[in-house]
Amino acid sequence: MLSPSDLETLVLTFKVASIATAMMLLIGTPLAWWLARTHSGWKGIINAVVALPLVLPPTVLGFYLLVLMGPAGAVGKFTSWLGLGTLPFTFTGLVIASVLYSMPFVVQPLQASFTTIGEQPLEAAATLRASPLDTFFSVIIPLAKPGFLTASILGFAHTVGEFGVVLMVGGNIPGKTRVVSVQIYNHVEALEYSEAHWLAGCLLLFSFTVLIILYTVLKTQPVAHQLK
Amino acid sequence: MLPSRFFRPFIATWLILLAPTSWAATTLVAVASDFTKPMTEIAAAFEKATGHSAKLSFGSSGKAFAQIQSGAPFEVYLSASEKYPLELEKTGFTVSDTHFVYAIGKLVLWSAMPGYVDDQGKILTTGNFKHVALADPAHAPYGVVAEDVMKSLGVLDKLRPLFVMGENISQTYQFVSTGNAELGFVGLAQVIDVNNGKIGSGSGWIIPDNLHSPFRQMAVLLKTGAENPAALALVDFLKSPTALAIIEKYGFGLPK
């Protein structure tokens, strides 16, 4: 069965994933919008930066973050200067790492759906004298709703499944940075296979349910196709 | 059916690439991550002395243990504790009576900052730090010993909320060396300067053996390696004066 410490990791994981998903939507939406509309020469470079976590091993990202956010790193110096201390081993640090790590899963579906909307609805809205902000909220968001749903679900699910980065910057602190994937790993390392099975089963069920929702209810294209 | 003409060049290439492994005696070794540096040097000396070669896989002792039980092709296993090799022996994965202590682990309370850790470890009781790094005591031998030390010093309960735990001792070292944890319990081999036997950078306290349970590191020959001359030779070589000198150079104690 699930022990109290297992439940604690589940709660923490969902907390990290929810906050990270909210932040990714906030940052990812304008970014995806810009990427979908721009003809700037920077487009390719920004696209590549956003997609980097897809191809980089999580250990590479985790190692860079550990060094950058540490007391000798640029980000670490900045956060210390702000009086926030350094970010590794903290809940905030974990959320930031998750945002970077799962960003492509949010930006790419959004970008795809913004691209599909095209110019016409925007021009129509403009002739009706809708302000750009109004256009965004009453035209684009409703039209891109499947994109937003896909982005949120994928971003959330991918953060739940994150392991390598968390292991590197989290420090495995119960109740603070020990998420469910790390807990499963700990159980396996400590040879507590039955505990590992319970928790792994929960995660499997969760991931499968999420994907079923994506592919049957939302009728989303397979991820690989979508991420092109 | 013969493979189609299209696939034949690929198969031929694969056969050529695979061929050398069939005549050179090579052994696959699982090594506890704390023994990374000495073992790399020992493997080089072993190659030179015997002509055989040893391929090393570094990681936590617990992971290697689980992998061996699941049929990993390791032939020699160097654990950071006695527990895992003895357990493997009980469950029939080893060649019986081949286990031996190859080194005595030494623990260091270390900080990347010079002058931070005093040579008696008083900082543990008086220091004003936010994090203390150690390997996860749930499965890593170094973590168990680190907890022993804090218990002996009567600071375990006070420090527990400050714990950041590495998956193995290399990751623990990473936490401390990047300065993210002010100090932590690492292996002497990770911080020693082999030229003078002192701690190479930062500051540290080499923890006396009487503050923790005996830290005997045990190796064993696995059944998979019973017929491999390279595996047998490596087990012997680990007890040779050449190997012992390297082990001692990296700050490990020698088996008695």
What pLDDT, in 10s, does the model give residues B132-169?
999 999 888 899 999 999 999 999 999 999 999 998 89
Count helices and strands (H / E) in chain B: 11, 12
The CATH number given to whatever domain includes residue B198 is: 3.40.190.10
Geometric angle at alpha carbon A221, from A218 and A225, rounded to 5° = 155
B57 CB-near residues (< 8 Å, 6+ apart): B28, B29, B30, B31, B64, B74
- Report the gap between the CA of A87 and the closest CA in chain B (Å): 9
Within a domain: B166: yes
Q: Which string of b and e fits A127-155 if b means at least 16 CB within 10 Å?
A: eeebeeeebbeebbeeebeebbbbbbbbb
* Same structural domain, B200 and B120: yes
Q: Looking at the predicted structure, is the pLDDT value of residue A8 above 70?
A: yes
Within a domain: B16: no
- Report the gap between the CA of A54 and the closest CA in chain B (Å): 23
Structure tokens at A53: 């976590």
* Same structural domain, B182 and B231: no
Pairwise CA distance, residues A28 & A88, whole Å: 23
Quick check: A70 contacting B, CB < 8 Å?
yes
Could you write out the DSSP letters of every residue in B57-124? EEE-HHHHHHHHHTT---SEEE-SSSHHHHHHHHTT-B-TT--EEEEE--EEEEESSTT-S-TT-THH
Residue A59 is predicted with a pLDDT of 86
Quick check: B99 contacting A, CB < 8 Å?
no
> Which of B62, B139, B180 comes nearest A70 by C-beta?
B180
Q: What is the largest CA-CA distance in chain B?
A: 76
Within a domain: B201: yes
Whether A190 sits inside 8 A of B138 (CB atoms) is yes
Whether A67 sits inside 8 A of B165 (CB atoms) is no
ipTM: 0.77
Within a domain: B1: no
Whole domain around residue B99: which residue ranges?
Answer: 26-104+216-249
- The total domain count for chain B is 2
Size of the A and B interface in Cβ pairs below 8 Å: 64
Closest residue by Cα to residue B55 from B84, B85, B29 = B29
Whether A171 sits inside 8 A of B174 (CB atoms) is no
Closest residue by Cα to residue A15 from A179, A171, A202 = A179
Quick check: B215 contacting A, CB < 8 Å?
no
Structure tokens at A184: 């499963």
Q: pLDDT tens-digit profile of A11-44? A: 999 999 999 999 999 999 999 999 999 999 999 9
Q: For the domain covering A4-117+144-226, report its CATH number.
A: 1.10.3720.10
- Report the gap between the CA of A171 and the closest CA in chain B (Å): 5
pTM: 0.81
Q: pLDDT tens-digit profile of A137-151? A: 888 889 999 999 999
Residue at token pair 């087990």: B235
Backbone angles phi, psi at B65, to 5 degrees: -55, -50
| Burial (Cβ within 10 Å: 0-12, 13-18, ≥19) of residue B186 | buried
> Which of A89, A172, A185 comes nearest B180 by C-beta?
A89
Whether B167 sits inside 8 A of A66 (CB atoms) is no
> Which of B65, B136, B178 comes nearest A67 by C-beta?
B178
Tell me the three state secondary structure of residue B204. strand
Q: pLDDT tens-digit profile of A43-98? A: 999 999 999 999 999 989 999 999 999 998 999 999 999 988 899 999 999 999 99
Q: What value does the CA radius of gyration of chain B take, rounded to a whole number of Å?
A: 21
What is the pLDDT averaged over residues B202-224? Answer: 94
Quick check: B178 contacting A, CB < 8 Å?
yes
Pairwise CA distance, residues A24 & A108, whole Å: 12
